[in-house]
Amino acid sequence: MNYTTQMDAAKKGFITKEMEMVSKKENIEIETLRELVAEGKIVIPANKNHKALSAEGVGQGLRTKINVNLGISKDCMNIDMELEKVKTAIEMKAEAIMDLSSFGKTEEFRKKLIEMSPAMIGTVPIYDAVGFYDKELSDISAEEFLDVVEKHAQDGVDFMTIHCGINRETAQVFKRNKRLTNIVSRGGALLYAWMELNNKENPFYEHYDRVLDICAKYDVTISLGDACRPGSINDATDASQIKELITLGELTKRAWEKNVQVIIEGPGHMALNEIAANMLLEKKLCFGAPFYVLGPLVTDIAPGYDHITSAIGGAIAAANGADFLCYVTPAEHLRLPNLEDMKEGIIASKIAAHAADIAKNVKGAKDWDYKMSKARQELDWNTMFELAIDPEKARRYRKESTPKHEDTCTMCGKMCAMRNMNKVMQGKDINILRED
């Protein structure tokens, strides 16, 4: 078989081993999957150099996937701690891990991550550029930025966030339309600053064909970053965000012409009543490309609880068409997440994804809930724990407050509705005050 990328194979009618894997995981007909990959409505991020990968599909009709952000920073350079997070994220079955390392031995960490991870791996190359070259931002050349992209691709990264849509035209729209929180995307802010300091075009936009050639060579999925995503509900669905989204749609078509798979990144912070419309806009303007949302956070007032504000928005977004959720932890806006923050973020995001899959009628999504409800009706505690999204926490809560009667809990005791309905429907007496 002669093909360059998953999309190229799909267009030529070939079935790859990655497609076969996704077909089995998702219980989707292989030919349907191939057609959707060919159309760009499903992506299978699978770098040719990521040997440990257990391929996943992202897009139309598939389970909503979640991503976990990790990585070292200048203030927190503990590689061993980040690797411990990686192991936990894999154990908790996160489908994707993004290495957002921005300081120190980024290559060492990235290579270890790719070597050990069956989850797809993403990066944001511009984060790495300053440390990689040990240069101030304004002194890095366009060619050097592109070389970092190629280095990440060579290392085996499956998808890369590249902020190609914040070009000079988008920047002018941003300048004319004042925002409360300006540009909150880290990569977007770095590129905007580079453009202003050097009075030049965004190198990733200007040399977009070179970026696509790199992606095609290694079969890297390009995640078109949303530099102008809203950083407050005040800035949601404004001129800058929509202008950039239009540009991302144009860039999507150009990528598909070169058989490069595309994910579109989205908001951000956004009021509940705007989310559904934003999902429709992305699918329309970007021709059905999979949508990867960062939240959206539905209120700005909950530092320490933004895993909750994000899960609310993520569930609504995915129910209305988003395909991929970036987790948010309780530490968002405050500090680098620790291991417990990461766990809470993963659980909250997985709940949002599953709730959305039920709403979208994803094949088999309701089966899990049916089994849990059956175990509850039967007062089968062990099965309930096994089915729980966080079995450890469920067992701990039960153990911390043990009831006198095993078929009850300390909330209702012998007034338990499940217990009493089971008894009465079997023609038995209900003894609430008497001992058995």
- Binding residues for substrate, by number, are 69, 98, 127, 163, 185-187, 226-229, 265, 292
* CB-CB neighbours of 128 under 10 Å: 23
Question: What is the spatial distance between Cα 186 and Cα 406, in angstroms, rounded to a whole number?
Answer: 52
Query: In which residue are the tokens 């696509």 written?
Result: 212
Question: What is the spatial distance between Cα 361 and Cα 6, in angstroms, rounded to a whole number?
Answer: 26
Selection from 176, 178, 269 nearest residue 226 by Cα:
269
Question: What is the spatial distance between Cα 318 and Cα 324, in angstroms, rounded to a whole number?
Answer: 8
What are the start-end ranges of the H helices in 40-141? 79-91, 106-116, 125-133
Half-sphere exposure of 58 (CA within 13 A, CB side): 34
User: Residue 398, class by beta-carbon neighbours within 10 Å (0-12 exposed, 13-18 middle, 19+ buried)?
Assistant: middle
Return the structure tokens found at 391. 């079995």
Backbone angles phi, psi at 263, to 5 degrees: -120, 140
Sequence-distant (6+) residues with CB within 8 A of 199 are none
Is there a cis peptide before residue 314, judged by omega within 30 degrees of 0?
no
* CB-CB neighbours of 112 under 10 Å: 16
Sequence-distant (6+) residues with CB within 8 A of 108 are 79
- Binding site membership for Zn(2+): which residues? 269, 333
Return the structure tokens found at 24. 């089995």
- Binding site membership for [4Fe-4S] cluster: which residues? 409, 412, 416
Selection from 66, 67, 52 nearest residue 97 by Cα:
67
What are the start-end ranges of the H helices in 156-260? 168-176, 186-198, 203-206, 208-218, 239-257
- Binding site membership: which residues? 69, 98, 127, 163, 185-187, 226-229, 265, 269, 292, 333, 409, 412, 416
